[in-house]
């Protein structure tokens, strides 16, 4: 037992250091395309970690993730934009607006707790569909808030005169100027690391163990004194906070958002991230998010190189291929390897670790 | 008054159509405890087979109809036998339900690609005529939907309550293990349930694309998806509930659209969100749906 744990730590520390250095150094070498790809992946990963807590750790299905992403995004736009005659806005300082927007997403999740606490598993999945469709209706109907079909610009995030994702004041690192793309990479990475650490701490705490108890057996959990309904709504609220944060970051990266984006398919993309990642793994959810959010961009960029996919005229365009892949991967992964990418990592680690002699008392008797 | 009456007829007709799709979801749930999110894609697939057979290959409606129904039923059985049955062994019903979401995405993406920007008609026998009675005019296709829908629902209920298969199915829903010990073949029950669900979905799809709607295009899947709130409103484990839920969803949609000018403060196009609002309200009062049986567990 002792051996096993120290073995894992021996593995993890250097891997984490190397990964950290690589991630910090990438903006010094990579061009805009790859940095934007990374920023979107990091932002999506925050949302995916939130959904993973709900789906993988508590066993509750939610298809409303795009709704809470939208609450974060439009909450930020509404709070930070200066109001004009035909568009609503409060003109708050943008950092404050971002914080309140994330809180709003959390409150929206909390407001759903009469249902999130009582409904279980798949039932909640269907009930949460309602939020997506009501949300879509509101987004298209409330033109002063969202700009209707044309969308609305997202105000920049500034702290004092410091443009967090802009160009002012000029910064540079080892002679490489830090502009939008580089700053986007670092900011989203930082937020992702902080939120991931928080998620891991929560999952290892009493709350996380209560989540697992509910997932593995609602009745047993209740018998052990876990207030099932309360923890279910806690998980739902937590996941909507993560979604809200991801929504704010995505809006900042997009710089202009349209209501169409926050539809049911976006929820399904986040579900795909979680399933591909192995449902219950934090690292898996992040890897799944990186895969799902980069895939369409990569397909877009390299579609000319793939025969039969090139150009806008083809039936088998990037959007088609991406959707078939998400959907297909959900099916294939659940069918063959429900632990998804997380299982791959475990296998790789096992293959790379030198085999130790199996202690005699642990070999099967026969 | 005439306006209200015509809306009620239309709502009931649309409701009967939703009930057919919702019934498929309920039958599958009862036989295998899986919520089939792929029901809209079964509907799209079967309806596409019929519509492409008539409008692209020139077959008559009566030849295309059995083709489409059989195609959807076979696809549904394949999904059950090849994919879902594997999850049943480990009782991973949530995973199986999530898998049907992935399946839905794949099937819908493919049918969407095939339909493209076309609007396919099914060349159905009720055409574009309007029947007038009691001072209102209702499209013939709507009346046909109401009549055929009601007929199918009655037949289905009779089948479920009188036939041997119906007994086997209800026994399976009650207690799969005991049912299996009594000699009921669970695999056969669930395959039949999936086949019936696929067939019902196509029947519903043909009425959704009939006059006054222009035909089969990619927007039909959003309509088909509203069968899910219908099934939830009635209670996932109740066939009566599916019918009631379908009617409520159909009526709410038509009434909200009809009285749109009085509901202007809710914004345009609220009828598409109305079934979902209704579902939330019902769930707040009865978490298991109107006719669903609430699981009671003592701790």
- Average pLDDT of the residues in A125-134: 92
Say yes or no: A324 contacts chain B, CB-CB below 8 A.
yes
Given an 8 Å threshold on Cβ–Cβ distance, is A130 in contact with B280?
yes
Give the H/E segment covering residue B213: none
> Most confidently modeled of A25-29, A287-291, B29-33, B166-170?
A287-291
Percent of chain A with pLDDT over 90: 48
CA gap A101, A103 in Å, rounded: 5
- Average pLDDT of the residues in A301-313: 66
CA gap B252, B279 in Å, rounded: 11
Asked if residue B239 is part of any domain, the answer here is no
Asked if residue B147 is part of any domain, the answer here is yes
Q: Which spans in chain B are helix H?
A: 2-32, 39-55, 61-78, 85-89, 93-115, 140-162, 164-174, 176-181, 186-208, 220-225, 227-234, 239-258, 274-285
Which chain A residue's Cα is nearest to B292? A123
Which chain B residue's Cα is nearest to A320? B109
Quote the pTM value: 0.89
Q: What is the pLDDT of residue A363?
A: 45
The answer to whether residue B128 scores a pLDDT higher than 50 is yes
Q: What is the pLDDT of residue A365?
A: 43
Q: Please tell me which of the candidates B102, B106, B297 has its beta carbon nearest to residue A219.
A: B297
What is the total count of domains within chain B?
1
- Average pLDDT of the residues in A101-126: 91
Which chain A residue's Cα is nearest to B84? A335
Q: What is the pLDDT of residue B26?
A: 93
Q: Which residues of chain B neighbour A268 with C-beta distances below 8 Å?
A: 101, 105
Q: What is the pLDDT of residue A364?
A: 46
Q: How close A223 comes to chain B (CA, Å)?
A: 6
Q: How close B129 comes to chain A (CA, Å)?
A: 33
Q: Which residues of chain A neighbour B86 with C-beta distances below 8 Å?
A: 335
Say if CB A132 and CB A264 are below 8 A apart: yes
Say if CB A165 and CB A156 are below 8 A apart: yes
Given an 8 Å threshold on Cβ–Cβ distance, is B98 in contact with A326?
no
The answer to whether residue A316 scores a pLDDT higher than 70 is yes
Q: How close A103 comes to chain B (CA, Å)?
A: 23
- Average pLDDT of the residues in A190-195: 95
Higher per-residue confidence, A223 vs B131 = A223
- Kindly report the number of other CB atoms within 10 A of residue A340's CB atom: 27
Asked if residue B235 is part of any domain, the answer here is no
- Which residues, including other chains, have CB under 8 Å from residue A149's CB and lie 6 or more apart? A140, A258, A259, A260
And the tokens for B126? Answer: 């009720």
Tell me the β-bridge partners of A159. Answer: A162
Q: What is the pLDDT of residue A366?
A: 39
- Average pLDDT of the residues in B91-106: 90
Q: What is the ipTM of this complex?
A: 0.88
Given an 8 Å threshold on Cβ–Cβ distance, is A133 in contact with B109?
no
**Residue from A334, A338, A340 to probe the interface with B (highest B Cβ count within 10 Å):** A334
Confidence class for position A352, pLDDT limits 50, 70, 90: confident
CA gap B267, B280 in Å, rounded: 19
Which chain A residue's Cα is nearest to B105? A327
Given an 8 Å threshold on Cβ–Cβ distance, is B94 in contact with A142?
no
Asked if residue B88 is part of any domain, the answer here is yes
Given an 8 Å threshold on Cβ–Cβ distance, is A327 in contact with B266?
no
Asked if residue B84 is part of any domain, the answer here is yes
Q: Which residues of chain A neighbour B280 with C-beta distances below 8 Å?
A: 115, 127, 130
* pLDDT tens sequence across A151-191: 888 888 888 777 778 777 777 777 777 778 888 999 999 99
Say yes or no: A137 contacts chain B, CB-CB below 8 A.
yes
The answer to whether residue A103 scores a pLDDT higher than 90 is yes
Given an 8 Å threshold on Cβ–Cβ distance, is B277 in contact with A122?
no
- Average pLDDT of the residues in B36-44: 94
* pLDDT tens sequence across A37-55: 999 999 999 999 999 999 9
Residue A56 is classified by DSSP as I
CA gap A78, A76 in Å, rounded: 5
Which chain B residue's Cα is nearest to A273? B102
Confidence class for position A318, pLDDT limits 50, 70, 90: confident
* pLDDT tens sequence across B137-189: 788 888 889 999 999 999 998 998 899 888 898 888 888 889 889 888 888 89
Given an 8 Å threshold on Cβ–Cβ distance, is B101 in contact with A330?
yes
Q: Which residues of chain A neighbour B266 with C-beta distances below 8 Å?
A: 141
Q: Which residues of chain B neighbour A330 with C-beta distances below 8 Å?
A: 98-99, 101-103, 105
Strand ranges in chain A using DSSP code E only, listed in sequence order: 152-153, 158-159, 162-163, 172-173, 176-177, 256-257
**Residue from A66, A120, A127, A292 to probe the interface with B (highest B Cβ count within 10 Å):** A127
Given an 8 Å threshold on Cβ–Cβ distance, is B83 in contact with A222?
no
Q: Which residues of chain A neighbour B299 with C-beta distances below 8 Å?
A: 219, 222-223
Q: What is the pLDDT of residue B250?
A: 94
Given an 8 Å threshold on Cβ–Cβ distance, is A142 in contact with B267?
yes
**Residue from B25, B78, B105, B219 to probe the interface with A (highest A Cβ count within 10 Å):** B105
Given an 8 Å threshold on Cβ–Cβ distance, is A130 in contact with B236?
no
Domain of residue B14: give its range: 2-219
And the tokens for B237? Answer: 């484990």
């Amino acid at each position: 037992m002792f051996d096993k744990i120290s073995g894992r730590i021996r593995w993890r520390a250097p891997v984490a250091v190397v990964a950290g250095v690589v991630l910090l150094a990438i903006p010094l070498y990579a061009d805009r395309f790859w940095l934007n790809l990374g920023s979107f992946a990091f932002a999506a990963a925050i949302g995916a970690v939130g959904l993973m807590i709900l789906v993988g750790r508590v066993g509750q299905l939610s298809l409303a993730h795009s709704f809470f992403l939208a609450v974060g995004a439009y909450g930020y736009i509404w709070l930070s934009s200066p109001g004009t005659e035909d568009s609503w806005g409060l003109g708050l300082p943008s950092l404050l607006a971002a914080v309140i927007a994330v809180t709003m997403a959390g409150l929206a999740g909390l407001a759903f707790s009469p249902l999130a606490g009582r409904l279980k598993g798949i039932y909640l999945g269907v009930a949460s569909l309602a939020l997506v469709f009501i949300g879509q209706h509101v987004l298209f109907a409330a033109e002063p808030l969202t700009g209707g079909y044309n969308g609305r610009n997202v105000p920049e995030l500034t702290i004092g005169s410091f443009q967090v994702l802009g160009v002012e004041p000029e910064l540079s690192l080892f002679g490489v100027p830090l502009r939008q793309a580089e700053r986007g990479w670092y900011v989203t990475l930082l937020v992702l690391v902080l939120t991931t650490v928080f998620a891991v701490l929560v999952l290892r705490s009493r709350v996380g163990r209560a989540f697992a108890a509910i997932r593995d057996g609602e009745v047993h959990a209740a018998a052990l004194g876990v207030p099932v309904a309360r923890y279910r709504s806690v998980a739902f609220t937590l996941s909507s906070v993560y979604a809200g944060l991801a929504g704010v970051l995505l809006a900042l990266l997009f710089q202009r958002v349209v209501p169409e984006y926050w539809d049911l398919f976006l929820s399904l993309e986040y579900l795909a991230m979680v399933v591909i990642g192995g449902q219950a793994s934090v690292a898996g959810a992040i890897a799944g998010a990186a895969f799902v959010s980069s895939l369409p961009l990569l397909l877009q960029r390299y579609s000319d190189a793939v025969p039969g996919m090139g150009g806008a005229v083809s039936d088998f365009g990037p959007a088609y291929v991406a959707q078939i892949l998400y959907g297909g991967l959900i099916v294939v992964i659940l069918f063959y390897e429900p632990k998804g990418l997380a299982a791959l990592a475990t296998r790789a680690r096992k293959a790379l670790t030198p085999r130790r002699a199996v202690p005699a008392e642990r070999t099967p008797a026969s | 008054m005439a306006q209200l009456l015509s809306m009620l007829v239309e709502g009931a007709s649309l409701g009967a159509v939703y009930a057919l799709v919702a019934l498929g979801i309920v039958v599958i749930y009862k036989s295998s405890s899986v919520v089939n999110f792929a029901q809209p894609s079964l509907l799209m697939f079967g309806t596409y087979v019929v519509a492409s057979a008539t409008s692209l290959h020139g077959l008559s409606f009566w030849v295309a109809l059995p083709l489409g129904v059989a195609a959807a039923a076979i696809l549904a059985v394949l999904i059950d036998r090849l994919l879902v049955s594997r999850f049943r062994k480990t009782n991973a019903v949530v995973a199986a339900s999530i898998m049907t979401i992935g399946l839905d995405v794949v099937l819908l993406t493919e049918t969407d690609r095939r339909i493209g920007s076309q609007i396919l008609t099914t060349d159905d026998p009720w055409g574009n005529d309007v029947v007038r009675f009691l001072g209102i005019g209702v499209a013939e296709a709507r009346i046909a939907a109401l009549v055929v829908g009601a007929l199918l629902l009655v037949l289905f209920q009779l089948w479920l309550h009188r036939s041997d298969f119906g007994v086997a199915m209800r026994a399976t829903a009650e207690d799969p293990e005991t049912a299996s010990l009594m000699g009921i073949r669970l695999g056969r029950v669930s395959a039949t349930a999936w086949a019936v669900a696929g067939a019902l979905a196509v029947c519903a799809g043909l009425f959704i694309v009939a006059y006054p709607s222009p035909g089969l295009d990619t927007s039909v899947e959003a309509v088909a998806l509203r069968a899910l709130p219908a099934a939830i409103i009635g209670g996932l484990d109740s066939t009566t509930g599916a019918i009631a839920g379908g009617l409520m969803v159909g009526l709410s949609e038509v009434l909200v659209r009809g009285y749109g000018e009085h509901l202007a403060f809710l914004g345009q196009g609220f009828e598409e969100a109305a079934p979902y609002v209704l579902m939330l309200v019902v769930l707040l009062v009865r978490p298991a749906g109107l006719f669903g049986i609430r699981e009671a567990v003592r701790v």
